[in-house]
Amino acid sequence: MTRDTNGTGPLLDARAITKSFGGVQALNAADFACDRGEIHALLGANGAGKSTLVKIFSGVMAPDSGTITFDGQEVTFTSPADAGAKGVATVFQELSLFAHLTVAENIFIGHEPLTRLGQVSGRRMRATARALFDRLGIDHLNPDALLSDLSLADRQLVEIFKALSRDPRLLILDEGTSALGRTEVERLFALLRKLKSGGTSVVFISHRMAEIREFVDRMSVFRNGALVGTVAAANCSDEEIVEMMLGQRVDKSFPERSPLPAAAPMLLEVEGMSGGSRLRDISLQLRGGEVLGIAGLEGQGQGELLLALFGAYRRLSGRVMLHGKPAKLSKPWIAKRAGIALIPEDRKTEGLVLPMSVRENISMATLPAYGRFGFVSLKRERRFVAQMIERLEIKVGSMEQPARALSGGNQQKLVLAKWLATGAEVFLFYDPTRGIDVGTKRAFYELIAGLAREGRGVIVYTTETSELAGLCHRVLVMDDGRMVRSLEGDEITEPKILAASFGLGDGAKPEKVPA
């Protein structure tokens, strides 16, 4: 089956697409072209702009500038419905499914087959769904099962079928296979090749490069919001791709790593911690003055680990020792009293109360210190907040400004100021420099190194590999909720960390790290 097409150029041709959020440039004059009937992988480190590009192609957001040509005609995708009508179907990273609907209802949502009386035809819906399943050789999915009963992998399949059911001209899979097993991925690609021979194009985004590269025709590598280059998948080595993703060695000028004194006291010991949504048998040790990095692909349990250490999970197994004494970190306020600070993943929803003032945010965790009998002495609070603003060089018009009005970097400094105020000993950073400008990043590196020099312990998870290489004394690599590698000394280089995270090279033989 071939389709009617207009012209013979690429199916999708995007030129000079620019998009910024607040002060952060997500896409900077990015180009991207996908041919008719090809499987095209989109690669890049985190924050390279892949997801933003996908959201623009699927009508979720509009670009600030740039042109998109689809099937020979210049178009704008005004909404997901509009993009769908034009023939673009997307499997999103965050699932867009409905827990209380059946598998079939999820797949055909919005374009259900109808009976002559205008009723949704359950029979035809089920039959069509089964036909779809057969094409992928899936026989374990029941069209009548409720989505809430499905495993994560099956939900991802449903999401893929949902996109396929619209018979798209362009199918975009944004991390669409992260939960699928090897055989399912292979079957999926077999189907994608069938679609391709029918003229459908597929854009594929995945961090699991090793898994997908044999299936795709071409790969486009993105870095810092722009296209680095498009290469044929067949004649390109892993090393070349990693190099394209990392780019020229830019000197990020990290602060001097203070040597770890041999007699550094043990601050935090974790043994066999399991629980949360995916943590499995985690063990780690942190000494005073040490910066411990957590690496790995996105979503391998790093966030859960930091939250667990901060007391946000119930019913964790394993042992935690603070200063050599057993501790039970079951609530955030217990962790706070024990001297643990968390700079959380999302400063906008977890770190700050955006509508409240700079002052109120900085003092949020330490209010009892500014007065007695439940009162807050504004004078003492202001004096303290002023000190913090000066110490961290936070750029604010006044401390009564709402936190919302600050730039991303200064907002992140507010979160840090809040925790510095508590005098914590252990600082947990979750991707602290995501979406902040280079200058402030540099200031953050100094702050993190400074915390270590003062003898505090730091655990940092970041998606920027260069930061791990530049800041950490030790790096632990996580995969699927486990610690799989520990890198020390000379091993802490960007390529090695990246390779270990992607499961390439040495990392291909994951070994369990002894505590």
Name which of residues 277 to 316 contact another protein (CB under 8 A): 277, 307, 310-316
Site string for another protein, 351-370 (x = CB under 8 A): xxxxxx---x---xx-xx--
Contacting another protein (CB under 8 A), which of 56, 88, 97, 268? 97
Between 85 and 153, whose beta carbon lies closer to another protein? Answer: 85
Q: Does the protein bind another protein through residue 344 (CB under 8 A)?
A: yes
Q: Does the protein bind another protein through residue 400 (CB under 8 A)?
A: no
Contact between 246 and 45 under an 8 Å Cβ cutoff? The reply is yes
Q: Does the protein bind another protein through residue 96 (CB under 8 A)?
A: yes
The footprint of another protein on residues 168-197 (CB under 8 A) is none
Closest distance of CB 448 from another protein, Å: 19
Between 3 and 337, whose beta carbon lies closer to another protein? Answer: 337
Q: Which candidate, 59, 90, 82, places its Cα nearest to that of 204? A: 90
Residue 298 is encoded by which pair of tokens? 């996105």
Q: Which candidate, 26, 191, 43, 158, places its Cα nearest to that of 92? A: 158
The footprint of another protein on residues 60-79 (CB under 8 A) is 60-61, 79
Closest distance of CB 389 from another protein, Å: 18
Determine the 3-state secondary structure of 36 from DSSP. coil
Q: Spell out a b/e string for 106-130, using b for 16 or more CB atoms within 10 Å of the CB, else e.
A: bbbeeebeeeeeeeebbeebbebbb
Contacting another protein (CB under 8 A), which of 24, 29, 75, 145? 145
Closest distance of CB 337 from another protein, Å: 8
The footprint of another protein on residues 321-340 (CB under 8 A) is 331-333, 335-337
Between 43 and 164, whose beta carbon lies closer to another protein? Answer: 164
Q: Does the protein bind another protein through residue 95 (CB under 8 A)?
A: yes
Phi, psi of 212 (to 5 degrees): -100, -20
d(CA 346, CA 332): 16
Between 275 and 510, whose beta carbon lies closer to another protein? Answer: 275
β-pairing, 426-430 vs 457-461, is: parallel
Between 360 and 467, whose beta carbon lies closer to another protein? Answer: 360
Closest distance of CB 494 from another protein, Å: 31
Contacting another protein (CB under 8 A), which of 162, 207, 287, 434? 162
β-pairing, 65-70 vs 73-75, is: antiparallel
Q: Which candidate, 446, 437, 434, 394, places its Cα nearest to that of 417? A: 394
- The whole-angstrom distance between residue 105's C-alpha and the CA centroid of its chain comes to 29
Question: Angle at CA 397, nearest 5°, toward 395 and 400?
Answer: 110
The footprint of another protein on residues 99-138 (CB under 8 A) is 99-102, 105, 109-110, 112, 114, 117-120, 122
Q: Does the protein bind another protein through residue 399 (CB under 8 A)?
A: no
The footprint of another protein on residues 455-514 (CB under 8 A) is none
Contacting another protein (CB under 8 A), which of 66, 72, 199, 275? 275
d(CA 153, CA 172): 18
Residue 117 is encoded by which pair of tokens? 């009386």
Q: Does the protein bind another protein through residue 259 (CB under 8 A)?
A: no
Between 245 and 316, whose beta carbon lies closer to another protein? Answer: 316
The footprint of another protein on residues 405-444 (CB under 8 A) is 418, 422
For 182-195, the DSSP string reads: HHHHHHHHHHHHHH
Contact between 39 and 217 under an 8 Å Cβ cutoff? The reply is yes
Q: Which candidate, 53, 56, 29, 34, places its Cα nearest to that of 218? A: 34
Q: Tell me how many residues contact another protein (CB under 8 A).
A: 71
Residue with tokens 């999708």: 12
Residue with tokens 């819906």: 125
Between 116 and 249, whose beta carbon lies closer to another protein? Answer: 116
Closest distance of CB 126 from another protein, Å: 10
Region binding another protein by CB under 8 A among candidate stretches 130-138, 243-251, 349-357, 481-489: 349-357
Closest distance of CB 368 from another protein, Å: 7
Between 119 and 237, whose beta carbon lies closer to another protein? Answer: 119
Region binding another protein by CB under 8 A among candidate stretches 67-75, 81-89, 390-398, 438-446: 81-89
Between 89 and 396, whose beta carbon lies closer to another protein? Answer: 89
Contact between 461 and 446 under an 8 Å Cβ cutoff? The reply is no
Residue 96 is encoded by which pair of tokens? 């867009």
Between 219 and 307, whose beta carbon lies closer to another protein? Answer: 307
- HEC sequence for 123-179: HHHHHHHHHHHHHCCCCCCCCCCEHHHCCHHHHHHHHHHHHHCCCCCEEEEECCCCC
Q: Does the protein bind another protein through residue 24 (CB under 8 A)?
A: no
- H or E element in which residue 272 lies: strand 266-275
Residue with tokens 């202001």: 382
Contacting another protein (CB under 8 A), which of 84, 87, 176, 507? 84
Q: Which residues, 6 or more positions from 394, have their beta carbon under 8 angstroms from its beta carbon?
A: 358, 388, 406, 410, 413, 414, 417
